[in-house]
Amino acid sequence: MWTASSIYIFFVFKWIISFADGLSHMALAAAFSSYYWTFRKPQNVPFFAVLNGLCLTARYHLGSVAFGSLIVASGFPIHLVLQCTDSRPKKYDNRFTRCCKCCLRWLVNFIKVPNCWNSSKNSKCSNKTAYAMIAMHGEDFCASINDAFMLLKRKADRSPFGGVLVEWCPGRGGVLVAVLGRVMGFLLMIGQFVIVGTVAILSFHIFNRRVDAFNKYPPELYYYLVPVATVSYAAYVITSRFSSVYIVAVNTFYLCLCEFCLWVRDACKCFALLVPCKHCYISRTKAISNIIIS
């Protein structure tokens, strides 16, 4: 049975964990976005890009990270309230309570709490996407979520595949197909399985003393499966951390690419208004694109 103190302790613990995760995510997003928008690479890229991103986050964006982690952590108490209301007798079932429960369910689905009312089937606003937008533009949390949503919506309306972000992309009457995210997640999952399986097989043969070259190093073990399981779990944790860095890179680079494409399109529209000749417009558009890409 959950008590008020246990709920408070778990809420604070969840907030701290989410804050640490958001801080690392924003530092990485700042490093990747600075690399993307740097004109001369690698001359003008900061030498300690991640450390520079961490310093910028600690100086300017700690409040945004704390607010985003608070939104994530607040989903657990709301989930408990919904569980308590569902377990109450039917005498409390009226229009007011049903309206409150619907509002709380919508809020839980928005926060993306697992195991709550089809939250896995709905695409929602991701804090990691907002962190990437904050790292690029330096705006507050709410404005960054709005900018990310509008940017992905505009890009999805022009793309034949829909939104291709790792976490989410709502629009066009429903959930869009996350092409890039699914492919990236599948490749990372295969890489994780290969690495963890290789480490597990090697540790099994080493601790089972089946490799003659390592027989003098490991001591005699009564039950060798425990160190094998420990080493395999450590390999899984390490590969998960590395794959999360790749996911941050894909998220950030895709947002930068969306903004770059929209900026180029707007620039071409401006030149189309300034240049009445169609052939001149095409030649100038190609010249602008070549200059920007190079």
Q: Where are the domains of the chain?
A: 4-153
Q: Which residue spans within the chain are E strands per DSSP? A: 170-171, 174-175
pTM (global) more than 0.95:
no
Q: What is the pLDDT of residue 196?
A: 93
**Who contacts 249 (Cβ-Cβ below 8 Å, separation ≥6)?**
28, 32
Tokens found for residue 143: 């404005």
Q: Is the peptide bond before 227 cis (omega within 30 degrees of 0)?
A: no
Identify the band that residue 223 occupies on the pLDDT scale cut at 50, 70 and 90: confident
Tell me which residue of 65, 70, 177, 179 sits closest to 123, measured CA to CA: 177
**Over the chain, what is the mean pLDDT?**
72
- Report the b/e string of 124-160 with b at 16+ CB within 10 A: ebbbbbbbbbbbbeebebeebbebbbebbebbbeebe
3-state DSSP assignment of residue 44: coil
Question: How many residues in total does the chain contain?
Answer: 294
240 φ, ψ to 5°? -65, -40
d(CA 219, CA 116): 48
d(CA 199, CA 55): 36
Identify the band that residue 219 occupies on the pLDDT scale cut at 50, 70 and 90: low
Identify the band that residue 239 occupies on the pLDDT scale cut at 50, 70 and 90: very high
pLDDT, mean of residues 204-214: 75
Alpha carbon 267 to chain centroid, angstroms: 30
Structure-model confidence comparison of residues 179 and 255, the more confident one: 255
- One-letter amino acid of 194: V
pLDDT, mean of residues 253-282: 62
